[in-house]
Copies of this chain bind each other. A is one copy, B any other.
């Protein structure tokens, strides 16, 4: 299937319903598509239909009210399809949650009747926990598999294991008897490609062979990744977090969390990471975990049939993704809370935490790195910090903020270019070119040749006296014996090796910054955490060494006085540089992730200072994080929960119809014929219609969704005798007497929402936006002194906000 510009955000082609159908068909994502055709059949299989029983109870309870004596008529059984949503539409949180409460109430009421029903009720209550357990286990296992496979393929670029090609470098030498402790990563069983082909591991020719093989494998992996994504699951590209944010806010993108996406994303993630492109696996792991959760939801009716409940599970899955990516369960939960989730009740907090723990421990039992740690770059140190050291941390924060702002602008500009120009048509070529350039430039520099995680691990490393790494290439002071080991470690002048390493690091920094801008958003799975952590770690190490040398040569400077005397300078501490704060605008969760990585509260204050600074600096250049920017680029209907609506418009300014528009399309509760209703629905494209008492009084009765209306009329015409175009459509409780010779009326009160949300025309928009956000509304009706005046949809609000911000209101594509 052909859907070229997808990953750079071009949904334009998808906007048309025809294309959506194609996507659904070609995707072969049956398990997702079936939601569209899902039937609320529990009402027909159970002996007491839930809504009828509920409304019966309501009628009984409603007798003591002051309203009409009988408020709710017994609803007919709901038709298949009524109450479901179309693709690329927003769900109605209130309705979904109310539906779930009805279901829950029914189960609770039944549980008193028999033991079996009680068991059903208990199993229903625990199904959420069971689901969480399964999500944790599956995500943890997948993450472990991805880690192992990526490790193996990455090493494949450099050489092969002669014992068995399925061993990675480390395991190959581990199994060998000839490995010595000094040279753990050197054994005869592991041969570089040059060694295998030319027979000699050294020399210019061997270097060229290795270089070419490196590029060859990089291109092969990249090609496989992009080809698989294009062929089987276009939704598998990118980090997935912008889309998951949108889905969690109540949008429907069918197939985005389906089984094909899961399979292809898992495979291509391994390939993309191994190809050496400047991308990480952390964002995509969140997507993978959400796919697992969505697929597992199908095991439980409670979650399969309710979009709101499903989103609670997905919120928890996002926490699981981060938990396995960083081995940080608490950080994962906070990430889900701070960054991804829209609606996060306390229940979800507990379940997220549980699932994140299960996943972390599954991953630990798989032990992909062979060190009983969950990540490659675990650090642990407890040296106290000095107040002076806050200054470089804040400096790093400023750098991080600038890099974040720059990155977002450049990346969005590039993605927009990809979306709007012919560049979008050459997705495969683009990936191949970028992979080739990356491989070409990365190989000569040892810091870019290694994978992002390895680079961070290397940069996080402490320098011990015996360390052979270039980064620890300090000159040995002549008087080592006099000053003792402690001092000689802390306070040494930089040597030749360190200067080389610094140059290489500086080049790597520039290279990483540039290539990441282009890489993020290509049609392969790509995360942003690792590249931005790598940039941060490089900058931190450079600054750390710089500070150290400055302190070495200027012991007498005032600020260094107390510092050097107590413990000498330490370049290592700046390694923990959470520069992501500028890019993603996460703060607390990032600090907690770092805290979990380091396992100590010691550095939390300088880290917090750096993160907050970088957030503030980046905010000064634009308040959007990278995910929000991508959401906007793609035109998703996402109502940012963090930002306040800061304009003094009223509901009447935003509602439709505007002054110049035709009058609001509405139905009357009686007096319209089926033909008239059909004509009205045909002539408009609105997704719902208010029902009023009469056109004159304009007093609001309820709200009917277009989809429900069409399905009901269609069904009635097929099954119900005598329903023709001239039949009356009746929304009242009591059917008015009709002429004996006329066709029987069609009663549709059952599909009408009797409690539509209304605001008055004077309601300030900030309050209206608050209501939309907090209740998760699709639309809201506007009244003036009790008369219906107009309607506000989520899209109207987003268009209005775009208009205020001088952006193109038509960039909001979906409702």
Cα–Cα, bound, A763→B699 (Å): 17
Interface centre among A350, A600, A648, A789 (most CB of B within 10 A): A648
Judge whether B350 and A588 touch: CB under 8 Å: yes
Is A587's CB within 8 Å of the partner chain B?
A: yes
Q: A770-B775, A789-B67 are in contact. Are A646 and B61 (CB under 8 A)?
A: no
* CB-contacts of A629-656 with B (<8 A): 641-642, 644-653, 655
Binary interface profile of A, 752-796, with partner B (CB < 8 Å = 1, else 0)?
Answer: 001110111111101100110011000000011111111000000
A354-368 vs B, CB cutoff 8 Å, 1 = contact: the mask equals 100100110000000
Which of A32-40, A93-101, A397-405, A712-720 lies at the interface? A93-101
Q: Tell whether, in the assembled complex, residue B650 and residue A608 are in contact, meaning their CB atoms are under 8 Å apart.
A: no
A64 in contact (CB, < 8 A): yes
List residues of A (332-361) whose CB comes within 8 Å of B's CBs. 333, 337-338, 345-347, 349-350, 353-354, 357, 360-361
Which chain B residues lie closer than 8 Å to A338 at the CB level? 346, 349
> A72 touching B762 by the CB < 8 A rule?
yes
Chain B neighbourhood of A659, CB < 8 A: 64-66
A434 at the interface (CB under 8 A from B): no
Contact of A58 among B108, B649, B756 (CB under 8 A): B649
> Least Cβ distance of A662 to chain B in Å?
11
Instruction: State whether the Cβ of A386 lies closer than 8 Å to any Cβ in chain B.
Output: no
**A330 at interface, CB cutoff 8 A:** yes
List B contacts of A702 (CB < 8 A).
760
A767→B58 CA distance, assembly (Å): 14
Contact of A612 among B354, B605, B652 (CB under 8 A): B354
Question: Taking the complex as formed, is A57 at the interface, i.e. its CB lies under 8 A from any CB of chain B?
Answer: yes
**Closest chain B CB from A523 CB (angstroms):** 32
Contact B785 A71 (CB under 8 A): no
B residues in contact with A744, CB < 8 Å: none
CB < 8 Å neighbour of A105 from B646, B758, B775: B646
Complex Cα distance, B758 from A700, in Å, reads 12
Q: Which of A140-148, A244-252, A552-560, A591-599 contacts B (4 or more CB under 8 A)?
A: A591-599
What is the bound-complex CA distance between A592 and B652, given in angstroms? 48
Query: Is A71 in contact with B761, judged by CB distance below 8 angstroms?
Result: yes
Q: What string of 1s and 0s marks CB contacts (under 8 Å) between A224-238 and chain B?
A: 000000000000000
CB <8 Å contact, A759 and B764: no
A705 within 8 A of B: no
Most B CB within 10 A of own CB, among A61, A612, A651, A659: A61
Contact mask A154-193 → B, CB, 8 Å, 1/0? 0000000000000000000000000000000000000000
Docked pose: A646 CA to B347 CA in angstroms: 16
Cβ contact of A67, chosen from B612, B699, B761, cutoff 8 A: B761
Q: Indicate if A104 sits at the interface (CB-CB under 8 A).
A: yes
Q: Is A62 an interface residue (CB 8 A)?
A: yes
Distance to closest chain B CB from A510 (angstroms)? 32
Q: Does the CB pair A770–B97 fall under 8 Å?
A: yes
Using Cβ atoms and an 8 Å threshold, which residues of chain B touch A612?
350, 354
A57 CB contacts on chain B under 8 angstroms: 648
Q: A61 is contacted by which of B653, B784, B787, B790 (Cβ under 8 Å)?
A: B653
Are B758's CB and A758's CB within 8 A?
Answer: yes
Q: Is A697's beta carbon under 8 Å from chain B?
A: yes
Does A771 lie within 8 Å of B766, measured CB to CB?
no
Residues of the B chain whose Cβ atoms lie less than 8 Å from the Cβ of A647: 105
Closest to A59 in B: B650
Q: Which residue of B lies closest to A607 (CB)?
A: B357
CA separation between A658 and B789, bound complex, in Å?
30
How far, in Å, is A92 (CB) from chain B's closest CB?
Answer: 11
Asked if A54 lies at the interface with its beta carbon under 8 angstroms from chain B, I say yes
A646 touches B762 (CB 8 A): no
Q: Contacts A71-B652, A104-B646, A755-B759; is A699 near B658 (CB within 8 Å)?
A: no
Q: Known: A64-B653, A650-B62, A770-B94. Contact between A783 and B784, CB under 8 A?
A: no
A101: B residues at CB distance < 8 A: 644-646, 766
Bound state CA distance, A644 and B100, in angstroms? 11
Chain B min CB distance to A557 (Å): 25
Q: Closest Cβ of chain B: how far from A592's Cβ, in Å?
A: 6
Q: Check A329 for interface membership: any CB of B closer than 8 A.
A: yes
* Distance of A784 Cα from B333 Cα, bound (Å): 43
Closest to A758 in B: B758
Q: Does A197 contact B (CB under 8 A)?
A: no
CB pair B64 A658 closer than 8 Å: yes
CA A786 – CA B690 in complex, angstroms?
13
> Contact partner of A787 among B330, B648, B699, B770, CB < 8 A?
B699
Q: Which residues of B contact A605 (CB under 8 A)?
A: 357, 361
What are 26 A-to-B residue pairs whose CB atoms are below 8 Å?
Answer: A58-B764, A61-B650, A62-B652, A64-B658, A65-B653, A65-B659, A66-B658, A66-B789, A67-B789, A68-B784, A97-B770, A98-B766, A101-B645, A108-B646, A330-B330, A345-B642, A353-B588, A353-B591, A357-B605, A357-B608, A596-B601, A697-B786, A700-B785, A700-B786, A755-B764, A770-B775
Chain A residues near B (Cβ < 8 Å):
54, 57-58, 61-62, 64-68, 71-72, 94, 97-98, 101-102, 104-105, 108, 329-330, 333, 337-338, 345-347, 349-350, 353-354, 357, 360-361, 587-588, 591-592, 595-596, 599-601, 604-605, 608, 612, 641-642, 644-653, 655, 657-659, 693, 697-702, 754-756, 758-764, 766-767, 770-771, 774-775, 783-790
The 5 closest A-B pairs by CB, nearest first: A699-B786, A755-B763, A754-B762, A65-B652, A786-B786
Other A-B contacts than A346-B642, A702-B760, 5 sampled, CB-CB below 8 A, are A65-B653, A66-B657, A71-B761, A105-B646, A599-B600
